[in-house]
Structure 1
Amino acid sequence: MLDNLIGELGPWSWWVAGFVLLAAELIAPGFFLVWIGLAAVIVGALSLAFWDSTFWIWQVQLLIFGAFAIIVALLGRRYVYNNRQITDEPFLNQRGASLVGRTATLKEPITEGRGRIRLDDTYWTVMGPDLPAGTRVKVVASNGRDLTVEMA
């Protein structure tokens, strides 16, 4: 069945596969299928030019598709990571990192290296030297949900 479909579509089968992959990126976004879909569209463009050539067998097409998928994915990754824009909110969605440098009062003592503080409307687990409740501390680092503090 698949052989018949590819035989009927001819060089357009790569275009169909490419657009299916691009549509799949819309359904399950992860920003990876777009590069593979683009590689399939490129092989589709080459297929339009070379379809009747004797060297353009399916094995060559798959090899070229694999090569283009790797090349396009690497180039796309480089493009995306080199074109990051500077924002006025660098800690957006990084709430713990935005708390570094702030001071607070310990709500629970730090015993065995762990305690709790309240910053704004949230209680945070802190790590640091053993200190009694009520001590002023300064946040010096953030590791996910845990903050590292030292005496202010």
Structure 2
Amino acid sequence: MWVFLQQMSYWDWLALGVILLILEVFGAGGYLLWIGMAAAAVGVLTFVLPQLPWEMQFLLFGLFAIATALYWWRRQRSAVRQSDQPHLNLRGQELIGKAFLVHEAIVDGRGKIKVADGVWLAKGPDSPVGARVKVIAQEGAILTVERTD
């Protein structure tokens, strides 16, 4: 094994790169892509410089793998953007601060309010049907309301 590692040719590096890229297809999440690219880069350098010592080949492979991984990490971090709709997929969060009418009277702290074409469970101070309430919080499917008289 040691002799093989000391005599790696450009074909061996390119084969390692291709194997890593094939494994990436099976869902490694981008990790093997950059290591495979590093192996392919060492293969190209070994083709161009056939007398490159094996120690230098492995050192370059490690450096290229780290450099490409850092490049990808920085690129991914810079690609994160703030959404113009921060409450998207957080059902109920967009209702906080808005006023609605009581659909079923809130009695003993429980009732229902009409929101657009739907009805939500509500908890808050006792209120008759038709009273105006403001949503102040959300706990799962229950909206916490307060009177807006």
Aligned-residue Cα RMSD (Å) equals 4.0
Q: Which runs of 5+ in 2 are unaligned?
A: 1-8
Partner residue in 2 for 1:29: none
Partner residue in 1 for 2:106: 109
Q: Number of aligned pairs? A: 133
- Would the aligned equivalents of 1:38 and 1:72 in 2 still touch at CA under 8 Å? no
- Would the aligned equivalents of 2:127 and 2:147 in 1 still touch at CA under 8 Å? no
Partner residue in 2 for 1:138: 134
Q: d(CA) in 1 for partners of 2:107 and 2:63? A: 60
1:46 to 2:49 alignment = no
- Cα deviation, residue 117, structure 1: 1.9
- Cα deviation, residue 43, structure 1: 1.5
Residues 70-121 of structure 1: CA deviation (Å, up to 9, x unaligned): 624531331221xx2764x554434423323322223252645x54322122
Q: d(CA) in 1 for partners of 2:77 and 2:92? A: 28
Q: Which runs of 5+ in 1 are unaligned?
A: 1-6, 26-31
1:10 to 2:7 alignment = no
Q: What letter is aligned with 2:120?
A: W
Task: Specify whether residues 73 and 8 from structure 1 end up closer, same or farther in structure 2 by C-alpha distance, changes over 3 A only.
Answer: closer
Partner residue in 2 for 1:150: 146
Q: What letter is aligned with 2:126?
A: L
Mapping of residues 119-134 of structure 1, within 5 Å: 119-127=115-123, 129-134=124-129
Residues 3-46 of structure 1: CA deviation (Å, up to 9, x unaligned): xxxx996212224423542x345xxxxxx813x14422432243
Task: Specify whether residues 38 and 75 from structure 1 end up closer, same or farther in structure 2 by C-alpha distance, changes over 3 A only.
Answer: farther
Q: What letter is aligned with 1:47?
A: V
Q: What letter is aligned with 2:119?
A: Y
1:93 to 2:92 alignment = no
Partner residue in 2 for 1:80: 79
Determine which structure has more spread, i.e. the larger CA radius of gyration: 2
Q: Give the structure-1-normalised TM-score.
A: 0.58
Identity within the alignment, %: 21
- Would the aligned equivalents of 1:105 and 1:137 in 2 still touch at CA under 8 Å? yes
Q: Give the structure-2-normalised TM-score.
A: 0.59
